[in-house]
Amino acid sequence: MLSAKSLFQEILDNDESFRLFCSIAASGESQGGWENARIAALVPESARDLAPKITRHGADEDKHGRIFNALLKKRGLRPVPVPPETDYTMLLEKSGIGLAHDKLKGDEPLTVADIVTYLAHSRVTEQRASEQMDLLRKHFADHPDIGRAVRMISHDEDNHLAYCHEELLRLARAGHGRAIQATLRSCALAEIRVYRDVSLAVMDHMGRVLGWSRARAGVLAAGIHAVYAWERLAGWRRMVSLEMPERRDALGGPATGAPEFA
């Protein structure tokens, strides 16, 4: 039976597919850590209270990257280069979503509009991350090798999503509501397209590593296209709604370490 659990179990059981999975995940998390660190450094004076939370966000992402690399090391594996077509973070930037890296590499302070863009982009991508980790937690929370990592990362991603909701609502009350909704919508529609393309690319690479038949690869590709069709029709709306989270001030303290992994 083809299910999310059986699919990931197959990836987990094979060293080469597991190495590719962790390498892609570690690269994306590390890139997110760099982006948040640069945004924290460039926050405008009018939003300086956000800087510690953005720093915490980036520290969490860095921690996740270390965790995925530590999982590789635990199995005696080394990271592999990430195929460009599977690089979710960079493909989002190329689609014009989020803050351009050229801007983040400079010294010019960001504007409040830039902060709106950053938070809207994060709200959309953290929705995806939270859902993916929730799925892994559902099936692998008690796994002897990856269970602890899955639980820790899932908890962090839920915190990141709560933080985005709370800060965007605060900015909406300050008069940025229309800009927030417009940015959220454009981010969500771009993200679901990039996610589809990356998912197809990742499954193509995994299929070659694991020797999937053309029929099985076709079924998985059809499933990815079906998810995209649903998201394009209505599913994207879950990424643009805002509500006050149960977890308030989710990034208000220092980042937690992961000495058991890193």
pLDDT (0 to 100) of residue 20: 98
The pLDDT tens digits of the residues spanning 27-83 come to 999 999 999 999 999 999 999 999 999 999 999 999 999 999 999 999 999 999 999
- What's the CA gap between 204 and 222, in Å, rounded? 12
Residue 49 is classified by DSSP as: G
Cβ of 11: how many Cβ atoms within 10 Å?
Answer: 18
Burial 28-48 (b: 16+ CB within 10 A, else e): bbbbbbbbbbbbbebbeeebe
Annotate 97-154 with DSSP letters as a single string. Answer: -S--HHHHTS-SPP-HHHHHHHHHHHHHHHHHHHHHHHHHHHHHTT-TTTHHHHHHHH
Tell whether domain 4-239 is in CATH 2.60.40.10: no
pLDDT (0 to 100) of residue 1: 53
Low-confidence ranges of the chain (pLDDT < 50): 262
pLDDT (0 to 100) of residue 172: 97
What's this model's pTM, rounded to 2 decimal places? 0.94
For residues 253 and 56, the answer to whether their CB atoms sit within 8 Å is yes
